[in-house]
Amino acid sequence: MNNVNKLALASAMTGLIAVASTSAVAGEAKEKCYGVAKAGKNDCATKTTSCAGSAKEDGQKDAFIAVPKGLCDRLHGGSTESA
């Protein structure tokens, strides 16, 4: 096997590993975590707006981001309920 084939094989294997690890994370249980999103980085609508990325301030109590289940309670200011 020449160097070009070895490089192509190594690249293909790296890509497969990346896809497999992404799939495992994507299947992980998520929950909405309110009050921890940075301004403009929320995942979905708030009480006063209708689209993602619309939080006006850091830690806005009605803006959420999706986090792995169980993480929100460990984040400073995080809540699983909108305020």
The alpha carbon dihedral of 59, 62, 66, 70 has a sign of positive
Ramachandran area for residue 77 (φ above 0: left; ψ -120 to 50: alpha; else beta): left
Inter-residue contact 65 to 81 (CB < 8 Å): no
- Using the predicted structure, report yes or no on whether residue 15 has a pLDDT greater than 90: no
pLDDT, position 79: 94
pLDDT, position 21: 47
pLDDT digits (tens, 9 = 90+) for 59-80: 999 899 999 999 999 999 999 9
Of the listed ranges 11-25, 38-52, 60-74, the least confidently predicted one is: 11-25
21 CB-near residues (< 8 Å, 6+ apart):
none
pLDDT, position 18: 53
pTM as predicted: 0.61
